[in-house]
Structure 1
Amino acid sequence: MIAFAEKRLKAMPNAFWICSSLRMARRLGLFVVLIFILAVPAFAITMANDPHGFDHLTWGIPLTDIPELTVTRSNSHTIDYQFRDRPPVYADIPVESVHLSTVDDQFARVTIRYNGAKAHAQVLQFLERSYGRIERIPGQMMRGLNQQYTWRGTDTEISLTYEANRDRGFIFIESRNLAPRFQDRMSDTAE
């Protein structure tokens, strides 16, 4: 048997190279399949009804004189606020926290944190009802370790991220014009 294999290899001098190439192609194929399985599903939806802000607050206004807000964090260019005397809720859904942020004294971002699959289902249902349904393509993965959805309007971008393994979610509601300043200011001051 060994003699036969040696004879075949001598007859085909590139046999080792061909076998190793096939093995490498098979490994590469498995790697690509693994990447697709673990890939984060991300979906972007054109927003149906741009809110132009959050709650009754429009993008760009200063939040310093609003009595129902209290400062939670402040530095040279950004200030974070939360509502003073009300529990954190979003769309009548109890959440862990709601933070409103300004950059250069202009309202630019809302960050909402929540826990639990039930809250996630309620938040996703509210966002779809308010800003546009997510297209569900046959074979598309709607569940996974991480789920990301984005609604883009003319003035507002809403991003939802849910980490199933940690059972927590984040909603970022941002001014499309002002939110990039957060990155600019952080890189300018190395904060």
Structure 2
Amino acid sequence: MNKLFALTLLIVLMIAAAPAAASDYVQTPRPDGFRGLAWGTPLSEIVDLVPVQEPGFKNTYFRRDEAKTFGKAEIMSVAYYFHADKLYRVGIAFKGRVNQFFLKDMLMQRYGAGRGIGFRYGWMWPDFSIELNYDNDKDTGSLYYTFEGAQK
């Protein structure tokens, strides 16, 4: 009898947890790309990207004429990351708490409340994530858009 009760309780808990797990995902549509570049775009189709020359940045590119703002935030740089020759991630570097506030506010207006863990804050979809980080000691932060779905 105890095993049957334990099994029934486990099933009830799993059913109750299912809607909570589904609600971890953002309900609005995810971004289809970044600044005119769709996720999965082959590197060979993008003419204005330049490879980052620093060690450790293989398959990482930037635009020489990249806008240094994103929404109301002033940013330092934007990096475009490729896997199997296709765009899958964009990273934005910024300095200062004010810019972190502007970025978080813009993202919350677009995608609703995200989730915070320590110094990280983010939004998740089944095949995509946005992660906002900030380092108080260095007074710098990063924002990553990462496509995790199947590449075309």
1:175 and 2:147 matched: yes
Q: Is the 8 A contact 2:122 2:130 kept in 1?
A: yes
Supply the AA of the counterpart residue of 1:65. E
Counterpart in 2 of 1:62? 42
Find the structure with the greater CA-based Rg.
1
Partner of 2:25: 46
Distance 1:53 1:88, change over 3 A: same
The offset of 1:134, in angstroms, is: 4.0
Aligned match for 1:165, one of 130, 137, 143: 137
1:88 maps to amino acid: K
- Structure with higher helix content: 1
Superposed displacement of residue 88, structure 1: 3.0
In structure 2, the gaps of 5 or more residues are: 1-22
Instruction: For 1:166, give the aligned amino acid.
Output: K
Deviations 1:91-121 (A, max 9, x none): 3522111000101101111111111010010
Are the counterparts in 1 of residues 93 and 142 from structure 2 also a CA contact under 8 Å? Answer: yes
Mapped partners of 1:166, 1:172: distance in 2: 18
Could you tell me which residue of structure 2 aligns to residue 84 of structure 1?
64
1:151 match: 123
Residue type of the partner of 1:169? Answer: G
Find out whether 1:117 has 2:97 as its counterpart.
Answer: yes
Once residues 63 and 141 of structure 2 are traced to their aligned partners in structure 1, the CA distance between those partners, rounded to angstroms, is 20
TM (norm. structure 2) is 0.70
Q: Helix, strand or coil: the match of 1:60?
A: coil
| Shift in alpha-carbon separation, 1:52–1:74, aligned structure 2, 3 A | farther
Normalising by structure 1, what TM-score? Answer: 0.57
CA–CA distance in structure 2, aligned partners of residues 176 and 130 of structure 1: 20
Counterparts of 1:99 and 1:73 in 2: how far apart (Å)? 12
Q: Please name the residue that 1:185 is paired with.
A: none
Equivalents in 1 of 2:24, 2:78: separation in Å? 23
Per-residue deviation, 1:178: 6.2
Q: Percent of aligned positions with the same letter in both sequences?
A: 25
Q: CA 1:52–1:178 in 2, change beyond 3 Å: closer, same or farther?
A: same
* Pair 1:87–1:131, CA change in 2 (3 A): same
**Structure 1 gap segments, 5+ residues each:** 1-43, 136-141, 180-191
Aligned residue pair count: 126
Report the Cα offset of residue 85 of structure 1: 1.7
Matches within 5 A, 1:126-137: 126-134=106-114
Structure 1 residue ranges, 4+ long, deviating more than 2 angstroms after superposition: 44-49, 86-93
Q: CA RMSD in A?
A: 2.8
Deviations 1:21-80 (A, max 9, x none): xxxxxxxxxxxxxxxxxxxxxxx95322301222221111112332232222499xx521
